[in-house]
Structures are given as C-alpha cells and as structure tokens.
Structure 1
C-alpha cells in the first residue's frame, strides 16, 4: 500500500484538524508532536457531528495537533486502537497514549484534558 510521505511534518498546532489516512501517518504525527488528539469518527455518526465543531476549536485554540480518523475508511487503524464506538478520542503526549474518551464530552472537559498535557 502506497503512503503519502509528504506527511505531516509541516503540521503545526493552532491549525485545522489533519485527516489521517493510515497508521504510518498517525505514527509520524504522534512521534513528531508533543500532544496529539485523535478523533476517531464516522460520517454517519450523529454524536460525531455534534463533536466536530469542538474538535475544530481545539485544533485552532490549543497547542495540540488534532487528527481525524474516519473509522469506515481506516478500519485496521481503528481496530489497532480498539475503537469499538464512535466518537472515540485518543490523546497522546510525548509519543505515549495517555487518555481515551468514548462519546461526546463537554468542550471544557476536553480542553482541560488537552491543556493538562501541553
């Protein structure tokens, strides 16, 4: 399987969420950025749509890099992270998974969680 190696070394915090299309791309993001919040979502998921503006604000307003993984298009990646329901948010700090949140949570709670690791 071909991968895009122009990948996300240019990604900076304070931008829009990054669409992740595979495990290598996600690994690169996690390895090269201090705090990465990964949103595992599905286009058909109502709660995911409710969470989308929150995720976009976190990408724009925090020091975390925010990645989005479509679980339908990336089933193996979702499986690798034991994603059983959407939305699932996985937070990485310094290359290590530190949190997993399933379901919609208030923006303030998610922001505090992200900022506690930056």
Structure 2
C-alpha cells in the first residue's frame, strides 16, 4: 500500500469514527460530491497530493463565462470520482499567479499529483467528463 493510500485510508477511518460518534466534521473534511473551495496554496497542494483526478477551476465572481461553467463543475463533482476544486482568483491572487492564470475561467486537470491538462474558457460537460475518465 502506498503512502498516499495509507493517508486516504486513515482519513476515511477518522471521518467514519467522527460520524459514528455523532461529532460534527471539520471544514477540512468535505463531501466529495461538492466542489471544494480552495483557501490557500497549501490547501490546493494537499488536494492534488491526495492523488486521483483533480479538476481545478480558477474563477471570479464577476466573470460571466465562469457563472456559465459553475453548474457544469458542480455536476462533475457530483457525478464523477474526481475531486473538483474551485479557486477564486480575486481571493487567491498569488495562487492564480503561481499557476499563470491570465484569464478566467482557467481549469487544470491533475492526475496522480501531476498536471496533465490546462484549459482556458468554458468547456462542455461531456468534454470535461471524457478528460477525467481518460486519466481515472
């Protein structure tokens, strides 16, 4: 078992334990069927390091195309095994600069911790799901 798998297993066991005890889960543990709102560069690094397929949507609240993409991204989070992360470029300017985001929406796809795709602009659900399945 790889270190990554051990971490996943440990986190899953911790979550099951907390839920069984009736404890409220903390914000770090999210329902994978919802997009994860990234709070820092370290937070994004953790999501990517967990492995699997991670779709990162760099967006802005004032961006019309980003608003068009939002329901697609939400559906993908609910309907695939990929982790979907959302990065507000206004709140996370340094992170957006680090990833050389020059226009929004910009999406990155990671597979097993490696950046495999970069897309700028709105993409259709079928195209995104197909990409995710390609790397799953």
The one of 48, 51, 61 aligned to 2:79: 61
C-alpha separation in 2, matches of 1:28 and 1:53: 24
Post-superposition offset of 1:77: 0.2
C-alpha separation in 2, matches of 1:17 and 1:77: 18
1:82 is the counterpart of 2:96: no
Match runs of 1:38-117 below 5 Å: 38-117=56-135
C-alpha separation in 2, matches of 1:11 and 1:51: 21
Match runs of 1:30-45 below 5 Å: 30-45=48-63
Q: When the two structures are superposed, what TM-score results if normalisation uses the length of structure 2?
A: 0.78
Q: Counting helix residues as a fraction of each chain, which structure ranks higher?
A: 2
C-alpha separation in 2, matches of 1:107 and 1:29: 22
Count residues in correspondence.
111
Q: When the two structures are superposed, what TM-score results if normalisation uses the length of structure 1?
A: 0.89
Higher RCO structure, 1 or 2 (CA under 8 Å, sep 6+): 1
Across the aligned residues of Structure 1 and Structure 2, the Cα RMSD in angstroms comes to 1.3
Unpaired stretches in structure 2, ≥5 consecutive residues: 1-25
Larger Rg: 2
SS across alignment from 1:101: strand
For 2:16, the equivalent position in structure 1 comes to: none
Q: Could you list the runs of 4 or more consecutive aligned residues of structure 1 that deviate by over 3 angstroms after TM superposition? A: 10-13
